C-alpha cells in the first residue's frame, strides 16, 4: 500500500455505481426482448426436430408446450421483477400510515390499490391485521387491503398476461380491485367490529419509530432480482406441470368439449368454479396454464375469471390464519361477501361476452 | 450481553433470521441471547406489521423479510 492511497474504511466496499446497474438492467431487457421474439420460430424448430406430424395431435401438444413454457417464464420474470422494484417503494408500515385516518369509501379504494403494491405475505396477515385495526383503520378498509393483496398478485397477473393476453390480465386487475373495494365497503357497512376476537379489540399496538433506511436505486434493482429468485424459483415447477396438462388438453380434448360444462349456457358453472377454486390456493401457478387451455376449448371467460379470483382471494390457509383474530362468524361473512363479488364478476362477463 | 428478539409466528423466514443473527453474532464475537417471540399480542405490541422483526435490547431495528448481514453487523455492534 502506498502512502498516498486514498483512505479506505476497513470493511467497507466501494458503493456499486447506479449507472452500471441501470446499464445492466437495460442490457438484460434487450436480451430478454431478443429471446422473446425468437420464441415462435424456435418452438416450430423444436417440433420439426421430433418425428411427429406438425398437424397431428401430438405435434399440436408439443408445439404448445415448447412455445408457451419459455414465453410464460419470460413474461413472469419480467412482471415479478417490475413488481419487486415497485414494492421497494412501499412497506406495510408506510401503507398503514397512508391509510390511517382515511374515511371509508376513499379508504377502501386506497387500501385495495395499496394492496397490490405493498409487500405482503399471508404469514404476516395477523400482525398486519392487528396493526391496521389498532391504528384506527376501519375494519372494512382493512378488508379491502386483505382481499386485494393476495388476489391481484404478480404471479397471477404475469401468467394471465403471458398465457391469455394483456386484455384478460388487465380485466382481472381492474375487477379484482372492484371486488376488493366493494366487499370491504360492504363489510364496513355491516359494522362487525364486535365479531373480532376479544383480545384483538384490546391490543394497543406500539408506535414504531424505525429509522428510515436509505434505499438506493441499486437496492431497488436488487429487490427486483430477489423477488425473481424467490418467486420464480418457487412456482416454475408448477407452471411447467400446468403447461404440460394444458398442452395435453390443447392437443387431445376436442374443441368445444367443455362448452357443455364450463360454457355460458349453464348458470351454475360460475358458482361451481368458485367452489372448486377455494381449496386450490397453493397451486395458483399451475392452474392458470390449465385455465388457458380450457378457455380455448369453450370455457366461458366469466367462469374462468371467477375461478381464478376464487383460487387467489378465497384460500383456506389464509382463513385458518385469520381465525386467530376473527370469530368464525366474521370469517364466514368475509368469505360470503367476497364470493358474492366474484360471482357477480363471473355472471357479468358471461353475460357480456359470447 | 445483547438481548435479541426475533419476532414472528415461526415461518421459514423467521427461523432463517434467527440463524442469521446467531451466525453474525458468532462471527463478530458479540455475546447475544436470542429469544423467539411468537405471541401475536407481543408482536403487535412492538408495532410491527410484517414479520420477521428484530428487536435488539428493546428497540425495533428491522421488520419484514430477511435482514442484510451488513445491517445485522451494524446493529449488533451498535
Q: Is residue A312 part of a domain?
A: yes
What pLDDT was estimated at residue A82? Answer: 93
Could you tell me the CATH number of the domain that includes residue B7?
3.40.30.10
pLDDT at A190: 93
Distance (Å) from the alpha carbon of B32 to chain A's nearest alpha carbon: 22
Cα A312 to Cα A127, A143, A229, A306, B72: the distances in Å are 21, 15, 21, 10, 35
Cis amide prior to A203 (ω within 30 degrees): no
Residue A173, in any domain of the structure: yes
pLDDT band at A14 (very low <50, low <70, confident <90, very high): low
Residues in contact with A29: Cβ distance below 8 Å, sequence separation at least 6, in sequence order: none
**CA angle at A88 for the pair B42 and B36, rounded to the nearest 5°:** 25
ipTM over 0.85: no
Q: What percent of chain A has pLDDT over 70?
A: 89
Q: Is A134 on the interface with B (CB under 8 A)?
A: yes
Residue A59: per-residue pLDDT:
82
The pLDDT of A90-116, averaged and rounded, is 89
Give the model's confidence band at B55: pLDDT under 50 very low, under 70 low, under 90 confident, else very high. very high
- Residue A11's pLDDT is 44
pLDDT score at A2: 41
Q: Which grid cell is A207?
A: 408506535
Average pLDDT of chain A to the nearest whole number: 84
Q: How confident is the model at residue A341 (pLDDT cuts 50, 70, 90)?
A: very high
- Identify the band that residue A258 occupies on the pLDDT scale cut at 50, 70 and 90: low
What pLDDT shows up at residue A211? 62
Q: How confident is the model at residue A145 (pLDDT cuts 50, 70, 90)?
A: very high
Poorest-confidence range of A29-38, A154-163, A222-231, A248-257?
A: A248-257
Alpha-carbon gap, residue A110 to A170, rounded angstroms = 18
Per-residue pLDDT at A23 exceeds 60: yes
pLDDT tens per residue, range A295-330: 878 788 898 889 889 988 888 878 888 888 899 999
pLDDT at A191 over 70: yes
pLDDT above 50 (res A10): no
H or E element: which one contains B55?
strand B53-56
How far A193 CA sits from the closest chain B CA (Å)? 18
- Give how far the C-alpha of residue A306 lies from the chain's centroid of Cα atoms, to the nearest Å: 15
Partner residue facing A93 (CB), from B11, B44, B63: B63
Task: Examine the pLDDT at A126 and tell me if it is beyond 50.
Answer: yes
Alpha-carbon torsion A300, A302, A307, A309, what sign? positive
Q: Write down the pLDDT at residue A301.
A: 87
Domain count, chain A: 1
Structural domain count, chain B: 1
Q: How does pLDDT run across A195-238, given as a tens digit for each residue?
A: 888 888 877 666 666 666 678 888 899 889 988 998 888 888 98
pLDDT recorded at residue A5: 43
**In angstroms, what separates the C-alpha of B7 from chain A's closest C-alpha?**
10
Chain A residue numbers with beta carbons less than 8 Å from the beta carbon of B40 are: 126-127, 130, 324-325
Q: Is the pLDDT reported for residue A101 higher than 50?
A: yes
Beta carbons of A93 and B43 less than 8 Å apart: no
In a domain, A208, yes or no: no
Interior/surface letters A239-266, b for 16+ CB within 10 angstroms, e for the rest: bbebbbebbbbbbebeeeebeeebbbee
Residue A38 belongs to what domain range?
28-199+216-352
Q: What is the mean pLDDT of chain B?
A: 87
Q: What range defines the domain where residue B7 resides? A: 2-77
Query: Is the pLDDT at A8 greater than 70, yes or no?
Result: no
Q: Choosing among B12, B47, B58, B78, which should be mutated to test the A contact, i.e. which has the most A CBs within 10 A? A: B47
On whether residue A75 sits in a domain, the answer given is yes
> Can you tell me the distance from the alpha carbon of B36 to that of A251, in angstroms, rounded to the nearest whole number?
53
Task: Give the three cell numbers for residue A328.
Answer: 368464525
pLDDT: which is higher, A338 or A154: A338
Query: Which pLDDT band, with edges at 50, 70 and 90, does A348 fall under?
Result: very high
Amino acid at each position: 500500500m502506498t502512502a498516498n492511497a486514498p483512505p479506505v474504511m476497513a470493511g467497507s466496499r466501494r458503493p456499486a455505481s447506479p449507472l452500471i446497474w441501470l446499464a445492466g438492467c437495460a442490457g438484460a431487457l434487450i436480451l430478454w426482448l431478443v429471446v422473446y421474439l425468437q420464441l415462435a420460430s424456435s418452438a416450430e424448430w423444436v417440433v420439426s426436430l421430433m418425428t411427429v406430424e406438425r398437424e397431428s395431435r401430438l405435434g399440436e401438444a408439443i408445439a404448445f408446450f415448447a412455445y408457451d413454457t419459455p414465453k410464460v417464464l419470460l413474461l413472469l420474470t419480467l412482471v415479478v421483477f417490475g413488481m419487486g422494484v415497485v414494492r421497494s417503494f412501499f412497506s406495510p408500515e408506510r401503507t398503514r400510515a397512508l391509510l390511517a385516518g382515511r374515511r371509508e369509501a376513499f379508504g377502501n379504494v386506497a387500501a385495495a390499490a395499496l394492496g397490490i403494491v405493498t409487500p405482503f405475505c399471508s404469514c404476516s396477515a395477523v400482525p398486519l391485521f392487528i396493526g391496521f385495526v389498532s391504528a384506527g383503520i376501519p375494519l372494512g378498509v382493512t378488508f379491502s387491503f386483505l382481499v386485494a393483496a393476495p388476489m391481484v398478485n404478480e404471479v397471477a397477473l404475469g401468467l394471465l398476461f403471458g398465457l391469455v393476453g394483456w386484455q384478460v390480465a388487465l380485466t382481472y386487475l381492474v375487477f379484482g380491485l372492484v371486488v376488493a373495494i366493494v366487499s370491504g365497503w360492504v363489510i364496513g357497512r355491516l359494522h362487525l367490529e364486535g365479531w373480532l376476537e376479544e383480545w384483538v379489540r384490546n391490543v394497543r399496538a406500539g408506535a414504531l419509530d424505525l429509522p428510515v433506511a436509505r434505499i438506493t436505486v441499486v437496492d431497488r434493482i436488487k429487490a427486483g432480482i430477489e423477488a425473481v429468485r424467490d418467486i420464480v424459483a418457487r412456482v416454475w415447477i408448477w407452471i411447467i406441470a400446468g403447461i404440460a396438462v394444458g398442452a395435453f388438453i390443447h392437443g387431445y380434448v376436442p374443441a368445444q368439449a367443455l362448452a357443455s360444462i364450463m360454457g355460458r349456457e349453464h348458470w351454475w358453472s360460475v358458482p361451481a368454479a368458485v367452489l372448486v377454486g377455494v381449496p386450490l390456493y397453493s397451486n395458483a401457478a399451475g392452474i392458470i396454464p390449465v385455465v388457458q387451455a380450457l378457455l380455448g376449448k369453450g370455457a366461458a371467460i366469466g367462469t374462468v375469471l371467477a375461478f381464478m379470483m376464487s383460487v387467489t382471494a378465497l384460500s383456506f390457509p389464509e382463513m385458518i390464519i385469520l381465525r386467530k383474530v376473527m370469530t368464525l362468524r366474521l370469517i364466514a361473512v368475509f368469505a360470503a361477501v367476497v364470493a358474492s363479488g366474484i360471482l357477480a364478476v363471473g355472471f357479468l362477463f358471461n353475460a357480456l361476452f359470447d | 450481553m445483547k438481548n435479541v428478539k426475533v419476532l414472528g409466528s415461526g415461518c421459514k423466514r423467521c427461523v432463517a433470521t434467527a440463524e442469521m443473527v446467531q451466525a453474525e453474532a458468532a462471527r463478530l464475537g458479540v455475546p447475544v441471547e436470542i429469544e423467539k417471540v411468537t405471541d401475536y399480542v407481543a408482536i403487535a405490541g412492538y408495532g410491527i406489521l410484517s414479520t420477521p422483526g428484530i428487536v435488539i435490547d428493546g428497540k425495533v431495528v428491522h421488520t419484514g423479510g430477511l435482514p442484510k448481514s451488513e445491517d445485522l453487523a451494524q446493529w449488533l455492534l451498535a
